[in-house]
Structure 1
Amino acid sequence: MRIAISAAALALTAACALPADAQPPVAPLPDAPVSAFLAQCEGKDEWNDPAPPFHIYGSTYGVGTCGMNALLVADPEGLILVDVGTQEAAQLVAENIRRLGFRLEDVKWIVASHEHWDHVGGIAEMQRLTGAKVAALASAKDAFEQGRHNPIDPQGEAKFPKIRVDRVLADGDKVSVGASVLTIHATPAHSPGSSSWTWQSCEGSSCKTIAYADSATTISSDEYRFSDHPDYVANVWRGLDAIRALPCDILITPHPSASAMRERLAGGTMEDSAACRTYADQAKARFSERLESEKNTSP
């Protein structure tokens, strides 16, 4: 069944001749300006600071908070929600979806960046509100369903509401609704089940690849030494290489500040085909410094 979109959105949405693998455009809604997001979030970066929804490009919208991204990919056949944020943020994200003129029940799939409470804590509530299915990497499935961080996660233990996983994904698998097709990329740098997502959003005949690159920081509990876990270190390097290789016209990260999103929005410079490479290279440099620093500590 085709989703009920507000009259304003329908008036602005137009089909056009696109490449076979591109999605039809969904024009920005008149009440989702970037300026409103920037104004309300000025000086705010907390994970649960409310923010208005805003248009990013084509069919892609920001529906998260000032300090945490959640993205909505809209298609006439339904919606895909990428990340929710904390348990407390679920209602804020739900309200933003409604403010865009969409119905919660039109969210067909929920996917996530990684299995930490600050990004998936609200998924169970959003699943309840929408009836949507959840897809996740096999490496994140147990954490989702058990409602806790992976036991091998360097950041240690934390809990969140258990999430029903309806579909288990492998690297390169796709989640689609109508012509919206999201590809998952295993990027196990920040967490064991870390994933990044890419998709095309179009305005008229101009299509851009959105890269929702997962967090690339390699942080840990105080007592953890990456050097003591060579297999994990190898996965971190593999994950950072995968982020660097993402198709990437517009980079978005789970934490807006990690990729200077607000500054780029304010400057009208979201598009940068080198952004994912730069993001990964900076993370590689930080991880190299971390490993070097561990040489001066006792195992």
Structure 2
Amino acid sequence: MKRWVILCAAAITFPAVHAYTNVASKRADPSDMRATWTQPQKPFRIYGDTYYVGSRGLGAILIASPEGLVLIDSTLQENVPMIESNIRALGFRVQDIKLILNTHAHSDHAGGIAALAHDSGATVAVSAPSAKALALGGDDPDDPQHGLSGNYPKVTHVRIVADGEIVTMGSLALQMHAMPGHTPGSTGWTWRSCEEKQCLSIVYADSISLLSAPGYRYNDPAHPERLNDFRRTIATLKALPCDILLTPHPLDGFSEKVAHMAPGKPNPLIDTHACKAYATLGQRNLEERIAMEEHAQATH
């Protein structure tokens, strides 16, 4: 039994592809969601040295230090001029990007990495599985969504970052957290950002949806690592120090919170329970996916 793909928060949608359904979404129509991927978003300060430079529906995060800029995710290849314009609008130079990081190597988060690395001269640093996917331009046979997410310009010169490793840019330190499940190389990043005398823990966590191509099973006895990896990702999310949670596809309510940001007022993005809630959503996604796979197997 196969159903139309409907994804939860922080996920991508392919409405014309049959696959297992994930958690039912209360979000907008998939075509409307897809339209937000290229919809301009005015760049803004998230907190301290951390800025949002992505489109309305695809996150790209800029972290500034006196020694250079760090960019996490590029969104789509076609969005590169928008990303670069957003960076300049904040008063920064594209040429000052020294490091480009990535959550996962799908076209909507990594499609513009090659162009941004070319324009800035930045080093690209990713997990080993993501390095493989980038070198293949997204055509990675190990990806649960192989054949669905689209290809993009290949990125072959990268620095490999291990789970738990800290990458630095001057005084800025970002820690990599392996979060496999959505893709084999899915990665989260954490850092501390300070504003006046208050420093907060910021988490840019990867997607926790289980969208896949037809025939792919997460609960596959031949591949026990698929479930084990996703469960470790959920445990990682629960344990992270987390004052502000960011995701590659902004969560429901993110735009509304941003609209209420104002100098002198409490930052609505601060939520110390957000990562645990996100992990709970991931657990629910996993349980529903397993139940659907078991039902499909029983009725096949």
How high is the TM-score relative to the length of structure 1? Answer: 0.82
Which residue is equivalent to 1:284? 283
1:136-193 C-alpha deviation (Å, 9 max, x unpaired): 1112111111212431211122311111333111001122111111111000021100
Task: Give the alignment's Cα RMSD to 1 decimal.
Answer: 1.8
Q: Is the 8 A contact 1:196 1:243 kept in 2?
A: no
Mapping 1:218-229, distance limit 5 Å: 218-228=210-220, 229=223
Amino-acid identity (%):
42
Which residue is equivalent to 1:199? 191
Which residue is equivalent to 1:78? 68
Structure 1 unaligned segments of length 5 or more: list them.
1-42
Is it true that 1:58 corresponds to 2:58 in the alignment? Answer: no
Amino acid at match of 2:88: R
Which residue is equivalent to 2:21? none
Aligned to 2:117, the other structure's residue is in SS state helix
Aligned to 2:236, the other structure's residue is in SS state helix
Which residue is equivalent to 1:260? 253
Which residue is equivalent to 2:85? 95
Change (3 A) 1:260 1:164: farther
1:175-218 C-alpha deviation (Å, 9 max, x unpaired): 21111111110000211000000001111111011100111111
1:45 positional shift: 5.5
Which residue is equivalent to 2:224? 230
Amino acid at match of 2:232: R
Q: Aligned equivalents of 2:234 and 2:295: distance in 1?
A: 24
Which residue is equivalent to 1:5? none
Amino acid at match of 1:166: V
Aligned to 1:89, the other structure's residue is in SS state helix
Which residue is equivalent to 2:105? 115
Q: Aligned equivalents of 1:150 and 1:167: distance in 2?
A: 19
Amino acid at match of 1:218: L
Q: Is the 8 A contact 2:131 2:158 kept in 1?
A: no
Amino acid at match of 1:170: A
Aligned to 1:295, the other structure's residue is in SS state helix
Q: Is the 8 A contact 1:201 1:210 kept in 2?
A: yes
Q: Is the 8 A contact 1:116 1:149 kept in 2?
A: no
Aligned to 1:227, the other structure's residue is in SS state coil
Which residue is equivalent to 1:244? 238
Mapping 1:70-219, distance limit 5 Å: 70-157=60-147, 158-219=150-211
1:89 positional shift: 0.9
1:101 positional shift: 1.0
Aligned to 1:196, the other structure's residue is in SS state strand
How high is the TM-score relative to the length of structure 2? Answer: 0.81
1:49-106 C-alpha deviation (Å, 9 max, x unpaired): 1111111100000001011010100111110001110100111101111111111111
